[in-house]
Structure 1
Amino acid sequence: MHSKLFSAVLAVGSASVVSAVTTCTKDIKVTQPTPVIACDVVDASITIDASVAGGLSLEGPKAITGDLIIKNATQLISISSSTIQSIEGNFELQSLELLSSVNMQALKTLNKLNMVKLPQLSTLTFGTSGVTKASDIVISDTFLNDLSGLNINSVDSLTITNNNKLTAFNSDLVNITSLLSVTSNGNNMEINMTKLTSAAEIQLSNVKSFVVPRLKTITQSLKFDTNPELTTFSAKNVTSITDSVTFINNNKLTNVSFPLLTSIGDMTIQNNTKLLAVEGFPKLSKVAGGIILRGNFETVELPSLSDVEGGCTVFSTTDISAFCGFFDNAHSKKIIKGTESCKSNVKAANEGGSDGDSNTSSGGKGSSGNGTDNAVAALSVNNVLLGVSVVAGMAQLW
C-alpha cells in the first residue's frame, strides 16, 4: 500500500506541494449522489451504495489507491468526476440498468476496468486524451458505439463482447500480454490496430476485418471462429505462433496469408466454405502439434513443411487427389509423425460427419483416398468455441 500511496501522491502534484496533500485512509461508502470527500488521496476504496439514484458526482479526490465499485444501482443515470486522475485498484461498473453516461474527464490511469451489464450506456469519456495506462479491461453488454476514450498503449487483457452498437474499434495498442477477445459485438465489426506488434492470445468472433500490419509475435494462439463477414486476413510480419492457428465457420473467407510464418503449435482450418485454396503459408516448416484442413479446397500448398509432430487430416468436398500424394509422401518420410489421412469428395468435409471425426492421432499408419480418419495429437477444436468460453472467463476476471 505504501508504494501505491507514493504513486498517488506524485499524481496529485509536484514535490513542492506534497506536504499539502490530504489523505483518507479508511474505506468510503457513498450513500448520496453528491458526497463530500475531503481528501486529495483516498488510500482505500470507495463503494457506491445501490440506493444512489440520478447523477453521481465524485468531486475532491485526485487519486484512489484502492477500488471504485458501483454495482446494482438501478436508478443511477450518470457518473462524473472532474478530479479523479487515477484508480489503482478496480473500477467496476456493473448492473446499472439506467446508466447512460460516464464522464471522468481527468482520468488517465486505471488498473482494472470492468464495465458489465450497462444496457443504456452510450457515452464514455476518460480524460482529455483518454486512459493511457490500464491492466485488464472488460466491456460487455453496453450501448456504446465508440471506445476512443481507451487510448492505451499496453494492456494485459482486453475483452470486448456483446456491445451491439459497437461496429468499429481503432486502437493504438502496441502490446497485449495476455488476451485480446473481441466477440459478438455489432455486425460488421472492424478492428484496426495499426501499431500492435505483439500479442499473446487473440480470439475473434463476428468481426468483419482485423488489420494488424505491424504484428510480429503471437506467443499463444490466433483464433477466428464464426466471423460471417470476414473475407480476408493477412499477418504479413508474423514469424511464429506458439499454440494454435484456427479459422472455423468463416463463411465468406476467401484468403488467408502468413507469408513469413515458419512455426506453429497446430492448425485448424474448417468450414470456411468459400476458401478454395490454402496457400498462404509458403514458409511454414514446423508444426508442434497437428494439422486439420477441412473444406471445399481445390488447392493446398505447404511447400516448406518439414516437421509435423502430430498427425494430419485433409478432407475436401472436391477431388484433391493431385495433392494428397504430397501428404502421403510426407508421412512415409516421417515428416508427418502421426496418422495422416487425405480424402477427396467427402460430402461432410466441412463439419466431419459420417466420414470420420475431425482429429488425427499422433501415431499409426497413414492413409489416403478411402482410409480411416483418426485424432490429431493434442489438438482440440473445442478450445476455439469462443461464445461460451469468453463469457465464462469474463465473469471470473475479478
Structure 2
Amino acid sequence: MHSKLLSALLVAGSASVVSAATTCTKDIKVTQPTPIISCDVVDASITVDASVAGGLSIEGPKTITGDLIITNASQLISISSSTLQSIEGNFELSGLDLLSSLNMAALKSLNKLNMQSLRQLSTFTFGTSGVSKASTIVIADTVLTDLSGLNINSVDSLTITNNKRLTAYNSDLANITSLLSVTSNGNNMEINMTKLTTAAEIQLSNVKSFVVPKLKTITESLKFDTNPELTTFTAKNITSIKDSVTFINNNKLTNVSFPLLTSIGDMTIQNNTKMLAVEGFPKLSTVAGGIILRGNFENVELPALKEVDGGCTVLSTTDISAFCGFFNDAHSKKIIKGTESCKSNVKAANEGGSDGDSSTSSSGSGSSGNGTDNAVAALSVNNVLLGVSVIAGMAQLW
C-alpha cells in the first residue's frame, strides 16, 4: 500500500516537473536589473528599458524566439545569463556607454548579432566554446580586442568595422554565403581564416594580412582597398572569382599570387606603388569583363589569357612597350573584344583621372598614318570610361 502511494507521488512529482517547462507568448519589457521571467521559452521578444542600470541578469529563459534588444541603457555596467542558449531573432547591443562585462555562459546559437557603440567593452563570453551558429553579425564602433566568443562555422554576413583596438581575428569560419567586410579596425589588423573554403563578397581595408590557405571559390568579388601595411596576398587554391578582383591604394603591396585562378569577372590593380610586376596570374584565361592595370609596373605577364569580353587598359610610369605588344596582338586576334590601350611612361599612371600629355603610346590600334586623330579620340573616350569604371568600382567598396 505504501509502495503504491509512493509510486503515485513520484509520478505526480514528475508530471509537475514536466509541466514547469512553460512558454511565454507576449513581449516582455525589462525595467529592473534582475527581472523575474518564469518561462523556459519566450515565444516573443524581450526589450530592456534604457533606464536599467548596474548589472542586468536575465535568468530563466533558455530560448527567445524573437529579439533581445538592449539599447541606450547608458548606466548599464554588466549583462549576464546562465540559462539563455538560443536567440532566434536579433540580439542587439548598442549605445551602452558603461558596459564592461558581457557573459552569456550558455549561449550557443544566434540569428542576428548587432554590437555597436560599446565604448568600454573589450571582451565578451558566449557559451563555453563560443557561438557556433549565426546568420548575420555586425561588430562596429567598439573597443573590443578579442572576438574569440564567435566560434562560428558558417555565416551569411559578417561585418567588422571601426573597432580601433581590434588588431587580430582568428576564425574557424568555413563558409561565408553573402559578405565578409573587415574595414577600418586597428592598425596592422591580421586575419587568419585557415578553414575558409567558400565565400561570396570579401571587402578588406586597413588589413595587414589575410590568410586563407583553403579558400577555393569566391562567388562574387574580392576587394582590397587602402591597406597601408599589406605587403603580399596569396590565394593558392582559388580557381574562379565570378565578379571583381580589386587591389587599389595598397602602398606597400609588392606581390599578389593566384596560381590556380582561371576565370574572373574583371580585374583592377591600381595605385599600389611598390608593385613592380603583375605576374601572379599564370593560369588566368577568361575575363568576363575588363582589365585595368595602372601603376609602376616594369613587367606584366598574363600568359594563359584567351578571352577578355570587355576592354583592357594598362598604364605604367615605366617603359612596358614589350608587354604592350602582347596586348596589341591580343586585341588584333579578338582575344580582347573591347577597346584596348597600353601606354608606357605615364606620369599619372597611378591616378584614376587623365593620363596627361607626357606619355608614350604603345597601343597598336590606329597609332600610325592618317588614323592618328582617330586613335587620340578613341583614347580620350576610353580614359573617360576608365575614370567612370574605377570610381564605380571604388564606390562598391564602401
Q: Is TM (by shorter chain) over 0.5?
A: yes
Contact 1:223/1:384 (CA < 8 Å) preserved in 2? Answer: no
After TM superposition, give the deviation of residue 380 of structure 1 in Å. Answer: 4.7
After TM superposition, give the deviation of residue 383 of structure 1 in Å. Answer: 3.4
After TM superposition, give the deviation of residue 367 of structure 1 in Å. Answer: 6.2
* 1-structure distance, mates of 2:250, 2:104: 39
Q: For residue 114 of structure 1, what is the aligned residue in structure 2?
A: 114
* 2-structure distance, mates of 1:339, 1:307: 13
* 1-structure distance, mates of 2:156, 2:386: 31
Contact 1:295/1:349 (CA < 8 Å) preserved in 2? Answer: yes
Name which of structure 1's ranges 116-125 and 251-260 shifts more when overlaid on structure 2: 116-125
Q: Which residue identity does 1:329 align to in structure 2?
A: D
* 2-structure distance, mates of 1:291, 1:309: 10
Q: Which residue identity does 1:301 align to in structure 2?
A: E
Q: For residue 359 of structure 1, what is the aligned residue in structure 2?
A: none
After TM superposition, give the deviation of residue 121 of structure 1 in Å. Answer: 1.2
Contact 2:141/2:161 (CA < 8 Å) preserved in 1? Answer: yes
Indicate yes or no: 2:58 matched with 1:58: yes
Q: For residue 393 of structure 2, what is the aligned residue in structure 1?
A: 383
Indicate yes or no: 2:118 matched with 1:102: no
Q: Aligned in 2, Cα 1:350/1:18: closer, same or farther, shift over 3 Å?
A: farther
* 2-structure distance, mates of 1:278, 1:17: 69
Unaligned runs of 5+ in 2: 1-15, 357-363, 369-374
Deviations, residues 84-110 of structure 1 (Å, cap 9, x unaligned): 000000000111111112110110000
After TM superposition, give the deviation of residue 352 of structure 1 in Å. Answer: 3.0
Q: For residue 302 of structure 1, what is the aligned residue in structure 2?
A: 302
After TM superposition, give the deviation of residue 338 of structure 1 in Å. Answer: 0.7
* 1-structure distance, mates of 2:19, 2:183: 48
SS of the equivalent of 1:322 reads: helix
- Aligned runs of 1:304-319 on 2, under 5 Å? 304-319=304-319
* 2-structure distance, mates of 1:242, 1:378: 21
SS of the equivalent of 1:354 reads: coil
* 2-structure distance, mates of 1:165, 1:285: 42
Aligned residues: 366
Q: Which residue identity does 2:196 align to in structure 1?
A: L
Q: For residue 149 of structure 1, what is the aligned residue in structure 2?
A: 149
> Between Structure 1 and Structure 2, whose CA radius of gyration is higher?
2
- Aligned runs of 1:209-358 on 2, under 5 Å? 209-355=209-355
Deviations, residues 95-152 of structure 1 (Å, cap 9, x unaligned): 1111112110110000000001111111210000000000000000111100001000
Deviations, residues 1-35 of structure 1 (Å, cap 9, x unaligned): xxxxxxxxxxxxxxx97654111110000001111
**In percent, how many aligned pairs have the same letter?**
82
After TM superposition, give the deviation of residue 300 of structure 1 in Å. Answer: 0.2
Unaligned runs of 5+ in 1: 1-15, 357-364, 390-398
RMSD: 2.0
* 2-structure distance, mates of 1:269, 1:36: 58
Contact 1:312/1:376 (CA < 8 Å) preserved in 2? Answer: no
Q: For residue 42 of structure 1, what is the aligned residue in structure 2?
A: 42
Contact 1:225/1:386 (CA < 8 Å) preserved in 2? Answer: no
